[in-house]
Structure 1
Amino acid sequence: MGNRQTCRRPAGTHHEGGRVTTSPQGLDLYALQTYLSSHVREVTGPIEADLMHGGRSNLTYRITDGTHAWVLRRPPLGGLTPSAHDMGREFRIVDALQDTGVPLARTVALCEDPNIIGAPFSLVSHVDGTVLRTREDLDDLATTDVEECAFALVDVLATLHSIPYQEVGLDGFGRPQGYLGRQVRRWRDQWQRVATRELPDIERLQARLETHVPDESDASIVHGDARIDNAILDPAELGTVRALVDWEMATLGDPLADLGLHLVYRDPAFAPVLGGSAASTDERMPSRDALAERYARARGRDLSQLDFYLALGYFKIAVIAEGIHARHAAGLTVGHGFETVGRAVPQLAAAGLRTLTERSTL
């Protein structure tokens, strides 16, 4: 984007405009200031940055100049699954979906030059609102509010899946034909890349998925990580989603894979991935069947093969969790709450195997 800046200063503490600023880990604040001053006209002064906790993959920071605020995303420090950290893809899909009815942050800038801050990054507007990350975040909410926000996210997912991707310029963004088979192979390959241990259930789950691939649904835009803590909610009306975030896994494919993964996040087996207290696993959240029924009514979709999509969701999140665990073991994670992630992997793999032997009740 524009002229590529090359001026660098070691990350750490710097003096900007008479005040002291500190670069958080993974972000060179001085180099970012130089870039933004040339590429984002809204920037009016020295910037500050804070790491936004909650993410387990790409690093996310809140950037402010004291007047405006943005969100910057960059790949993790030790990315072992590089295809999942393509800043350009993430930015492109959010840019294409502006004004489509899907609630989103406003796109601002994309820098694919790793020489600016040490990695490619994207910048979008900061959206104020409520994010429900932990079960404790739900403590003061009425059960009706908990249900409304959960159903609201399912409705957003249904809206996303109804958008003709060709009409928003995303034809060619992915290869929808054969998507499910490629997903099984992709996550098998990712497991081989990130595995820190032998886990026979993962091998058995992958083998069973390969023999149970159903005929695919009509292709749509797939978010790839639609869970409640990736939704920014209206504080005054939790049944309104202000923005769906974290589009790093987005592609074109079978929309029921999106639904299946979303329903897996409802399982308590997922909780250790988010430090043991994931809001999506709270007992007051609508049941998995209730969420699936809400989606089926909104989209008019047949969910008779839902067991496969659930098992695929378990497989995918198990492999992602192992990758996070591997980065943490190597000292390459930023933030806290990573100590519990590894223990989720065998539980998720076992749950996926059970799902393929227990037909959906829907």
Structure 2
Amino acid sequence: MPSESDLVDPERLREFLAGYLDEADSFDVERHDQGFSNETLFVEWGDRDLVVRRPPPGETADTAHDVMREYRVVDALQGTDVPVPETIAACEDTDVMGCEFYVMARLPGDVLRFSEPDRFGTPDHRRAIGAEMVDTLAAIHTVDHEAVGLGDFGNPEGFTQRQVERWTDQIEWAFEETTERREVPQLREVGDWLAENAPDEHAYALVHGDYKLDNVVFGPGTPPELTGVLDWEMSTLGDPLCDLGWLLFFWPDRSDSIPTIMQTVAPVFLANDDYHSRAELIERYEEATGVEVTNQRFYRVLAVYKMAALGEMFYARYLMGNSDSTFYAMMEDGVPALAEQAVEIMEGEQPL
């Protein structure tokens, strides 16, 4: 895990911020230790709380950890119905921090991961959380991306088929390392099914790419109000139902038998009877967007397949000695459990 000294020269950052903000009588930088991708630094600038987003130190893939792409979409969404943090500045001068980075305001409130704040622990407030999540997703998918300057933000044609191909390629790459330890033949079965059932045509919209409960902020008051969508690094123009499928994957239902691996990545408290069911989330999404979701099974399977691909890559890196993460090691059993879940959805054994 990189230290703060690996990520930032405080004095250089202070000089940079002074060019955009009023002078501050206090300044402090703290690394945020959550997440597996771009690095997040919390900055105290006088009475303002800021966030710096930068890629991890060292070599990165050409398209991974693209913070300037993330900045572009967050900046474009300022003033729209999509709640995002206020952008402050972006820096392409690598002399400041050794990489490109951007700065935004830090939003007060809570990110919900493994528990709900006490103030949300009522039936009405729990219902409001699901409503806020769906209504915000609908706002993302219905924003006029051309009008806000994102008309060239991706290649939406054939997006869903490419998603299947991309994650299949990643699984095959990981299998070269992992099959000596254990095999997961069900993943190939799932990949074949997805390739056969991928839609030839789909709607085009701005998609977030990682839309789930722990990538949004709820403000500090009640009733629950979603005040900001975070972590836009996977955003592009594509098939909006891929976002919906991903949200549903991370939304346990009261009737689910939740695999152990999901208990480490999903907010299992959502299985409480007071929260929306997945079927209710889809119904609200249809009402908010005017889109009829007739192929939810495909998008739910695709979401599980994507998570399984990520897990298999994590496990491969663990076996290669590139990580000693216990989470990565858990994928030895976690990925087979995900593959089984995908098959159950495919075969109709895990309905909405």
TM-score of the pair, normalised by structure 1: 0.81
Determine helix, strand or coil for the equivalent of 1:257: helix
Q: How does 1:1-362 map to 2 (within 5 A)?
A: 23=4, 26-37=7-18, 39-42=19-22, 44-45=24-25, 47-77=27-57, 83-135=63-115, 137=117, 141-193=121-173, 197-198=178-179, 199-267=184-252, 272=261, 276=264, 278-279=266-267, 282-284=270-272, 285-324=275-314, 330-331=322-323, 340=330, 343-358=333-348
| Residues 1:260 and 1:181: Cα distance change in structure 2 (over 3 Å) | same
CA-to-partner distance for each residue in 1:251-276, whole Å, 9 max, x for gaps?
A: 10111111011100114758746x72
* Deviation for aligned residue 1:192: 4.3
Q: Distance in 2 between matches of 1:327 and 1:121?
A: 27
**C-alpha RMSD of the superposition:** 3.1
Change (3 A) 1:180 1:24: same
- Looking at structure 2, the residues matched to 45 and 331 of structure 1 have their Cα atoms a distance apart, in angstroms, of 40
Query: Unmatched 5+ residue regions in structure 2?
Result: none
The letter for the 2-side match of 1:32 is L
How many angstroms apart in 1 are the aligned matches of 2:347 and 2:290?
A: 26
Deviations 1:142-200 (A, max 9, x none): 23212211221111001111112111111110011111111111222333455652333
In the alignment, the residues of structure 2 paired with residue 276 and residue 139 of structure 1 have an alpha-carbon distance, to the nearest angstrom, of: 24
User: Which letter maps to 1:181?
Assistant: Q
> How far does the alpha carbon of each residue in 1:297-331 deviate from its partner, in whole angstroms, 9 at most, with x for none?
21121211111111111122222344455667624
Q: Deviations over 1:6-52 (max 9, x none)?
A: xxxxx97xxxxxxxxxx365444344334333x43245256322222
Residue 164 to residue 61, structure 1, CA distance change in 2 (3 Å): same
Alpha-carbon separation, structure 2, partners of 1:116 and 1:188: 38
Q: Report the Cα distance in structure 2 between the residues aligned to 1:78 and 1:345, rounded to whole angstroms.
A: 28
Identity, in percent, stands at: 32
TM-score by length of 2: 0.84
Could you tell me how far apart the structure 2 residues matched to 1:344 and 1:43 are? 50
Tell me if the contact between 1:321 and 1:344 (Cα under 8 Å) persists in the aligned partners: yes
Q: 1:346 Cα deviation (Å)? A: 2.6
Give unmatched runs, 5+ long, in structure 1. Answer: 1-10, 13-22
Contact 1:271–1:281, Cα closer than 8 Å, also in 2: no
| Contact map agreement 1:226 1:262 (CA 8 A) in 2 | yes
Distance 1:337 1:134, change over 3 A: farther
Q: 1:360 to 1:332 in 2, by over 3 A?
A: closer
CA drift of 1:295 comes to: 0.7
